[in-house]
Structure 1
Amino acid sequence: MKLFRNELTRFMMTYKFGLDEINTKLKILKEEFQHIHDYNPIEHMKSRLKSPESILNKIYRKDLELSLDSIRDNIHDIAGIRIVCSFVSDIYKISEMIQKQEDIAVVDCKDYIQNPKPNGYQSLHLILTIPVFLSDRVEAVNVEIQIRTVAMDFWASLEHKIYYKYEKDIPQDLSSELKDAAKVATELDYRMEKLHKQMKEIKEEEMMKDNENLLELDDNKFHLPLSLLESFLKK
């Protein structure tokens, strides 16, 4: 068992490197939006790497073979990143940008926004594979990415705390309240998205008016000297 733990620790290093690579890609996107575009869809990000103890517990719970190959084939959330966005549309925008990167392969996509879990949970889950270039080989590493809105993240955090407080046996009335709260969070996301679109339309209209005013000013600047010249010539 001690030998296996040592091998598992080395095995985990490749997942850390894979997590670092995805984090770098996301930080680049975030900085690009901050400095070049007028809107940044990424509110914040958080990454985590499962501990060897947590992985071993999951192996026992799932009754899997105790081997590195078994872990690699059956446990896809060893390395994970959570991205929190302002709006639902941002979730799909970020997902599309990530999936378009050439060195990333999509293993699985679960859309719990279009199809929420029975308890009300919503999020977009991606399992991605990224190559990690080591000194003597290239390892393909799975990284799980969860993308959700601020409202979804708040609900999930609260549900997680209640879930473990009651040792995974939540009373029925509390479970119903959580489902209702999930509906309220969904409604909030819908209303905030609607406000965001309205504000964007107003901004675009104002920009169009400003451009028209600039064109009108340029036009006047062009004709004013001509009219003066004509008046002068008539004299």
Structure 2
Amino acid sequence: MEYNQSTVNYWKAFVLPYTFALEELKTKFEIMNREAQFLEDYNPFEHIKTRLKQPESIIRKLERKNLSPTVENAQTQLQDIIGIRITCCFVEDIYHLKEVIENREDMEIVEVKDYIANPKGNGYKSLHMIIKYPLSLNSGTKDVFAEIQLRTLAMDFWASLEHKLYYKYEGNIPDYLKDELHDAAMKAEDLDNKMATIRQDIDDIEACSNQILLPL
């Protein structure tokens, strides 16, 4: 798909505030992690990845939704132009981080979809959040929507594999591979549960050790 320079500049100007918002949000989440590490000796998450939809991708999504490919429609109808994927070690950390986000005053949760409590039919698990972030610009404040995905390492590995297969087979994954994927999703869940048990055992041992070391 080719565009004239005027159209290119038009969409570049639209995407620019989303670029700024993504940079700010990534920094804020990294600060959350560093603060927890310093104050609590605890990292809520292991990895953070960001994604900005390019104009071509925005236009295609609008067309799939049978909407005119305009800046106005992109701004009002799409809430995932920017995305942040945060990978945690434990399921418990996901819900802790969700609570931290809920309590912040610099971003507002618009929608939550809990695919951990209610996995998709193919086995996909993740916690999705749409947030509204007030971006301060020289021209004033602009509300920007962002999609945040919270996953464990096991969930992320499974989702990456499913994504590759989806595009390899152009959405028509063979039934036997769907069954294998679903089985792998169950094993990923077992791994998350096992890791949670090990973590609890470690916490119990540390609590017991601290009690023993307390002075009489």
Determine if the TM-score, normalized by the shorter chain, exceeds 0.5: yes
1:177 aligns with 2:180: yes
TM-score, structure 1 normalization: 0.87
1:205 aligns with 2:187: no
The one-letter amino acid paired with 1:103 is D
1:40 aligns with 2:25: no
1:186 is aligned to: 189
The one-letter amino acid paired with 1:86 is C
Match of 2:63 among 60, 65, 70: 60
Distance 2:10 2:95 in 1: 38
Distance 1:74 1:148 in 2: 25
Segments of 5+ residues of structure 2 without an aligned counterpart are: none
Structure 1 residues 157-185: Cα deviation after superposition (integer angstroms, max 9, x where no partner): 00011111111100011101101110110
1:161 is aligned to: 164
Query: Greater share of helix residues, 1 or 2?
Result: 1
Distance 1:76 1:183 in 2: 30
Distance 1:132 1:85 in 2: 27
Distance 2:39 2:139 in 1: 39
The one-letter amino acid paired with 2:98 is S
Match of 2:117 among 114, 118, 121: 114
1:84 is aligned to: 87
2:150 is aligned to: 147
2:17 is aligned to: 14
Deviating above 2 A after TM superposition, structure 1's stretches of 4 or more consecutive aligned residues are 1-5, 33-36
CA displacement at 1:5 relative to structure 2: 3.2
CA displacement at 1:41 relative to structure 2: 2.3
Q: What is the aligned length?
A: 213
Distance 2:38 2:140 in 1: 37
1:49 is aligned to: 52
The one-letter amino acid paired with 1:179 is H
Go from structure 1 to structure 2 and tell me whether the alpha carbon gap of 1:165 and 1:129 turns closer, same or farther (over 3 Å shift): same
Percentage of identical aligned residues: 46
CA displacement at 1:34 relative to structure 2: 2.4
CA displacement at 1:107 relative to structure 2: 1.2
Distance 2:103 2:8 in 1: 36
Distance 2:166 2:114 in 1: 22
Structure with max Cα Rg: 1
1:138 aligns with 2:141: yes
CA displacement at 1:20 relative to structure 2: 1.6
Segments of 5+ residues of structure 1 without an aligned counterpart are: 217-235
CA displacement at 1:33 relative to structure 2: 2.3
Distance 2:119 2:152 in 1: 14
Secondary structure of residue in 1 paired with 2:121: coil
Distance 2:147 2:69 in 1: 22
2:99 is aligned to: 96
CA displacement at 1:36 relative to structure 2: 2.6
Structure 1 residues 137-157: Cα deviation after superposition (integer angstroms, max 9, x where no partner): 210000111000000000000
